Structure 1
Amino acid sequence: MDFAISLFVLLSSSLILAQDDGNAITEKPDETRTCQPDMCDLLMAFGAMKEKIAAVETRLEDSETRLRNSETRLKDSETRLKDSETRLKDSESRLKNSENQLLELRNKERTKVIFSAATGGGQAIGPFNTDKTLIYRTVITNIGDAYSPHTGIFVAPVAGVYYFTIFFHAGGHEWAGLLLYKNNQLMIMTGDHQTEADTADNGGNAAFLQLQPGDHVYVVLAANSHVWGTSHTTFSGLLVTQM
């Protein structure tokens, strides 16, 4: 554009100089000054060229504006697409969490742990000179198979809160004592002292225990104590709530 303007100024100057030179040689006061034919054609062509260049520049600016607008719309579309993808991922995460919660709830509903067993045998058990794990061999119920009648030990299958009870029947002529353990920790106990007046004694206790999978719960017959091996001496437990 600057080149065209410079060319126009140069041509105009040349025209003026040519007219001045013609007037100096053939000056006629009554004649109208005109440009030489070749110069006039050149100036007309130059003017047309300027108009075309201006039109091309206008169209170029319009094209650049439309291109910028298109780029802006494209960026907006990409932003909306990213937002949609983010919302989709959030929805998928919430759906997965809901499915996991539903699966966990179903597993909790399926996990049922209930057992009850008695010593049985009809004879006195003990006394022994050391503590001894009491084995309740007569299984009344064992839903979940968490209690073993071979070892006398209950093994927690899932984490949760469990409820346990122990009861005994024994003769009054010897001390009776039962201890409920969680792993190696004494939790509760029940017992009765030796008396000459009572021919039989009964006792019991109960507790809620929070257990983790694999925790052991069992009953120990205290050293130098005894119980009768009957249906009166029982060990029971159940899963109250899973955690």
Structure 2
Amino acid sequence: MMVTQQSSADRMKIIVFSSLLLLVCSVSADQTETESLQQTTANQHPCLQDIHAVLRELTASLAVLKEQISVLQRENQDHENKLKEVERQKTEIEQLKQQLKANQVAFSAAQFDKGEGNTGPFNTQTTLTFKHVVTNIGNAYNSHTGMFTAPVRGAYHFEWHIYGHGDIRTGAYLFRNGDYIFSAYEHPTSGGVSGSNGASLLLEVGDQVYVRLWDATRVYDNQNHHNTFSGHLIFTM
């Protein structure tokens, strides 16, 4: 009976000791885990500080980049505006050149380019062609048709000279778009005679001016270029 009681007491001691040992181990483990967590947190603080510092630097760099982009955009817009202004000025210059070119109009031509002979008489009025072109600034005169076509609206001056010999009359009209303006006329009795006239006309763009030989008359021309037709722009309107 004594042995049994002693065994029970021993077992109780073992249990108490084991419990105390587990409690100590548990406390030690908790303390170790707490220290480890504190150490990890302490180690993380420098990392977070570094990240915040990098973010601040990136934010500052981004702001600088945005400002630089804005400056470049403004400079680019200035360049575009200057380029547009240059293009506008070039266009104006080209327009002025075209206007100046259109305002430079003058021509002078004789009837025969080579050879000699009479033209006429004909039963109807006949447009004379002056093929020996001395001047044709602005290319408004057509030597194939004898027509001058006004390139711009303005005041123009024209002159025409005719020559004939023998006993046949010599005469020529100045026409504008089919309308009779003035005439030059001579009636030789012997030898040669010449007649001439001139007129200043207000012409619209596309108006045509030309010289027509009278019906039943004739003119004579040779290398001396007796018969001529000339004109020039006085001023635009």
TM-score range, shorter chain: 0.5 to 0.7
* C-alpha contact (below 8 Å) 1:108/1:242 kept by paired residues: no
2:221 is the alignment partner of 1:229:
yes
Alignment of 1:162-177 (within 5 A): 162-177=156-171
Taking structure 1 as the reference length, what is the TM-score of the superposition? 0.55
2:121 is the alignment partner of 1:127:
yes
Alignment match of 1:206 (pick from 198, 202, 213):
198
* C-alpha contact (below 8 Å) 1:161/1:209 kept by paired residues: yes
The residue type paired with residue 157 of structure 2 is Y
Alignment match of 2:101 (pick from 68, 90, 110):
110
Aligned to 1:148: 142
Could you give the per-residue CA deviations for residues 112-164 of structure 1, whole angstroms, max 9, x where no partner exists? 11101101141111111111000111111111111111101111111000010
2:211 is the alignment partner of 1:219:
yes
- Which stretches in structure 1 are left out of the alignment for 5+ residues? 1-100
Aligned to 1:193: 187
SS of the residue aligned with 2:141? Answer: coil
Stretches of 4+ aligned residues off by more than 2 angstroms: 101-111
RMSD: 2.0
* C-alpha contact (below 8 Å) 2:117/2:221 kept by paired residues: yes
Alignment of 1:1-243 (within 5 A): 107-111=98-102, 112-120=104-112, 121-195=115-189, 198-230=190-222, 231-243=225-237
Distance 2:99 2:157 in 1: 17
Distance 1:210 1:106 in 2: 23
Taking structure 2 as the reference length, what is the TM-score of the superposition? 0.56
Distance 1:143 1:149, change over 3 A: same
Q: CA deviation at 1:103?
A: 8.5
Aligned to 1:55: none
Could you give the per-residue CA deviations for residues 20-51 of structure 1, whole angstroms, max 9, x where no partner exists? xxxxxxxxxxxxxxxxxxxxxxxxxxxxxxxx
Distance 2:95 2:167 in 1: 52
- Which stretches in structure 2 are left out of the alignment for 5+ residues? 1-91
* C-alpha contact (below 8 Å) 2:108/2:231 kept by paired residues: yes
SS of the residue aligned with 1:127? Answer: coil
